[in-house]
Structure 1
Amino acid sequence: MKPRRLSPTERLLWAAGEKLPVNGALVGRIRGRTTPAQLREALSAARTHHPLLAVRVAASGPWRARFTTDGVPDPELRIVRADSPQSWTAILEEELKRPFDTATGPLTRFVVVESDGSFDLVAICHHLVIDGLSVSFVLRDLLRALADPTSFTTSVPPAVTVPADDLLPTRRADPLDLLRVARMLRGAGRTPRPSGQLAYAAWSMDAAETSSVLTRCRTEGATLQGLLCAAFARAHADLGHPSPVGIAVAADLRRILAAPPGETLGLYATSFLIPVDGLARHDLWTVARSSTTDIRDRLRPEQLLPLVRVNRLLRILPRKTLSALLRRSELKRTLFDVSLSNVRVPIPVDYGPLRVESLYLAAHTSVSGAPLVCVAGFDGQLFLSVTSTDGPHATELCTRAMSHLRAAVRQGTSRAR
């Protein structure tokens, strides 16, 4: 890979990672068998296709930095034996807490948790090089290389990694971008919850329940993301938190870029904040429809572009200054009460003798105690997880939110026909 400068957004993430956690992860449970040697060969082949799997950040002063593969070894691969079906959750908690050394790289690592007849493949990555969708392409390509090494090596060319900032239809920053972002954040912020050990929990909905939820959403004129926002806002109110609830919604930038990046590794996502009424003054589906409308409005290009372009205005700040400001802001207040990421994972289920049975996403990007909820739609099922430095609160919040969601799906329709 030819060295290239970090984009403004990548530079912001790099600065944040000097003082804050910025890790993301994917866990796939794979039915079938493999060997450590086969896994290392597959990882080496995947690295050839996805150069960002093994890069480092070479800094040249307080303002400039670039990605390079020079002197970067293959990503770490650790093999452990499972002592229970959920051994991977404890491993994931520990791995999410481990920072990456961006100066030496690589910015990804992997753990394989072996059990009888299956294994859990845990991919941990710095958010500089992945988002929830692109990391799923890494899982797909690793499994392709395991299933048919020769075909993968000869048929899959190296991907070209172009940052999202360089693919925007209008790249030039406008001072009005800063004003738009400031308006979105106006009134946002809560005192951070007491920070403790990082906690992770995961659960799922089978195909039948997932189908019921999605069918009901269509009937009610809401999206799954809108329903999740309503359910978590209601759960926050149950726990005595003030309303409206600030929910950070992850947004995929690929559909608004001037040139699609394809199925390459990289960060092609941003997030925006919406207020959601958590009080029981309205039917949950009414709130879900309102949230759906708000989300659709925020997903318009004219709303998303400023969220990325504004990072260009931060280039005047030295990296250490930017890192300190981000850390101070995080410790002073949290801008959101809960973060919701919802990704439909468009990869195959079967790879020769291997089959993906479950797929979970995770993120650790906050020490404020605010829960980060990740939802992966895969093979007709929903796989959900939460990370937080306030585990008991996050667990109770998710339990109540799922209770509200399931109750809303069971009840009679609230929409006039």
Structure 2
Amino acid sequence: MNLDKQKSDCADIPGCVRRLSNGERLFLGSIQSNVAMAARIVGDVSEKYLLHAINAARRMHPLLGAKVIFDDQHDAWFSTDNVPETILRTVPRTSETQWVDEIQREHTMPFKLETGPLIRFVLVYSSQISELIEFSNHGICDGIALANLIRDILVFYAEPAKEIKVIEPPLSTGYLQRDEGPSSSKSIGEDAINNLNLQWRKSPHYFSQEDFIEIHKAYWEKMQHGIVLLQLDPEETSTLVAKCRENGVTVISATTAAFLAAYQDAIGPFPEDRSIVGIPYDLRRRLSENVGNAFCLFVGALLFPFAYDQKKSLWENCQEIHSIIQKDIEMLNTTSPEIGLFDPTLIDACFSFAPLMQFVPEAFKRTDNLSAFARDTKNIAFMLSDSRKNRAPAILNTNLGHLNYPETYGDLRLDRMLFVPPAVRLVPLILGGVGVSNRLVFSLNYIEQVKDNGPSPTENMIQIRNRALEYLGFPEKANDRAI
């Protein structure tokens, strides 16, 4: 559906941008689905000029200044009406790893979905080197959108008088006629979905901003987002790219295979029914129609069975993964094409609330909506949520690839980017990769309990990262540090 039709449908909603797709709505209410991008910048960053650049980017990209309005039918709409100013928090830079602490801090602060905005910025500042952090609700953007936004902000920083051209956020469903979301690898079928919707509508539950905030607080009081980095310098990046080309594969295929092998060495093999690989990919590069550098959620996602074969070499495993990925992406395959058929309010219940009922039961006593939902134990949303638990993939690997951005912006230099996708409890390996200024960085993301006397998962993740470096041909880079 085109944007003009979307806007006419929500003519009664002030500042309406468009309706949310079910894929966007799935991520909107999930407290585990925030995404971050950190850019390391060399030079003395002016907070005043940076805020001016961020506000210019906000005028360029409507979803930077959006909130969500739920109508009387519980449909969700992006709106820019009366949204508060963009937040830029500046803190002194005390170490090279402080940006991780700031991302962890941001995770503890819920977005107010019905107030907005749904993105915040942090400048970890020193006069020589700073990190600019974008921290966003995943419902309004993907990794490429965040990366492009860094570039846009730096361009406006260097050119304050640059003309601002609004880029409206398209719906991916308008191009694929399907909706994306992390569901099962098997199609459910339209008749089955219609039946699930009928069951849901007999006993529906509708959630509010207050409900979301209570779940968010309870979860992030217990948990913390952990990060381990694999960083390659320009020469090492060139070496890896050359090896991949020599073997007819891509970096994403190589890193997927290497981390699967490393996990198997460090922890043990995955159960047969969990040997699933998930690969999100950017639709902007794959469509024949140019949608521009739109800031929105505009991704496809592959989900396919694959078990690393230790009898074969790393590169043989890579070639098998590469063959599957290339074939599916060429066909624009994506997981859960049927998710758009679900009642959107069932999406809220199944993906955002039901999965956490056992984990944070205390939160479900804090509002009337949550309490009523918790008592309705035979609700179809709980059944659907339980059915997904054993079908989570072993690895989710998002590589944004090499981004051909300028390295200098006035008197600033972009040194590297660090992409931090969501960490999900049920997925053991979650990778986010991005290459700029000839540097490739992958983050390995995981969840750990804040107050836990048991062994920290960080040691295992460092061991997995080090073993992956060995598989990729860089054993000398193994170390005992996370960052």
TM-score in terms of structure 1 length? 0.85
Alpha-carbon shift at residue 279 of structure 1 (Å)? 3.9
Q: Which residue of 1 aligns with 2:281?
A: 251
**Do residues 203 (structure 1) and 260 (structure 2) align?**
no
**Equivalence for 1:241:** 269
Match of 2:119 among 83, 105, 108: 108
Identity of aligned residues (%): 26
2:395 matched residue in structure 1: 338
Q: Which amino acid aligns with 1:343?
A: L
Q: How many Å apart are 1:241 and its aligned residue?
A: 2.5
Residues 388 and 316 (structure 1), Cα distance of their counterparts in 2 relative to 1, 3 Å cut: closer
1:17-96 aligned within 5 A: 17=30, 20-61=31-72, 63-96=74-107
1:268 to 2:298 alignment: yes
Counterpart check, 1:371 vs 2:429: yes
Tell me the distance in 1 between the aligned counterparts of 2:139 and 2:77: 12
Structure 2 letter corresponding to 1:335? A
Report the AA paired with residue 313 of structure 1.
L
Mapped partners of 1:407, 1:142: distance in 2 = 34
Give the Cα separation in 1 of the matches to 2:234 and 2:184: 43
Instruction: Name the SS of the counterpart of 2:292 in structure 1.
Output: coil
Q: Do residues 133 (structure 1) and 144 (structure 2) align?
A: yes
1:363 is matched by which residue type in structure 2? P
> Does the residue aligned with 1:303 lie in a helix, a strand or coil?
coil
1:73: how far off?
A: 1.6
Contact persistence 2:90–2:125 (CA under 8 A): yes
Report if aligned partners of 1:165, 1:309 keep a CA contact under 8 Å in 2: no
Q: Which stretch shifts more, 326-335 or 361-370?
A: 326-335
Asked whether the equivalents of residues 256 and 301 of structure 1 are also in contact (C-alpha less than 8 Å), the reply is no
2:250 & 2:288 partners in 1: Cα distance? 26
Deviation at 1:293, TM superposition (A): 0.5
- AA aligned opposite 1:364: P
| 1:361 aligned counterpart, secondary structure | strand
Q: Pick closer, same or farther for the CA change 1:243–1:400 going to 2, 3 Å.
A: farther
Give a deviation string over 1:115-142, Cα, whole Å, max 9, x none. 2312110000111111111111211111
For 2:420 and 2:303, the matched residues in 1 are separated by: 19
Residue correspondence of structure 1 range 268-417 to structure 2 within 5 A = 268-301=298-331, 303-304=333-334, 307=335, 309-315=337-343, 317-318=345-346, 320-322=348-350, 323-325=352-354, 327=356, 329=385, 332-333=389-390, 335-344=392-401, 345-368=403-426, 370-390=428-448, 391-392=457-458, 393-406=460-473
Q: Equivalent residue of 1:377, what SS?
A: strand
Cα distance, 1:296 vs. partner?
A: 1.0
Q: Distance in 2 between matches of 1:237 and 1:201?
A: 18
SS in 2 for 1:128: helix
Q: Which amino acid aligns with 1:346?
A: N
Question: How far apart in 2 are the matches of 1:161 and 1:117?
Answer: 35
**How many Å separate the matches in 2 of 1:159 and 1:242?**
43
Report the CA distance between 1:256 and its aligned residue.
4.1
Q: Render the CA deviation track for 1:51-82: whole Å, top value 9, x for unaligned.
A: 11111000114641100011112221100001
Letter in 1 for 2:254: L
What TM-score, normalized to structure 2?
0.74
Could you say if the C-alpha distance between residues 230 and 172 of structure 1 is closer, same or farther in structure 2, counting changes exceeding 3 Å?
Answer: closer
**2:18 paired residue number:** 4
SS in structure 1 at match of 2:50 = helix
Q: Which residue of 2 aligns with 1:188?
A: none
Deviation at residue 333 of structure 1 after TM alignment: 3.8
CA change 1:267–1:284 in 2 (3 A) is: same
Alignment pair present for 1:156 and 2:184:
no
Q: Separation in 1 of the partners of 2:131 and 2:315?
A: 37
Count of residues paired in the alignment: 386
Unmatched tracts of structure 1, length 5 or more: 184-194, 410-417
1:217 aligned partner, one-letter code: C
Name the CA distance, whole Å, in 2 between partners of 1:85 and 1:39. Answer: 21
Residue aligned with 2:325, SS = helix
| Cα pair distance change 1:114/1:340, threshold 3 Å | same
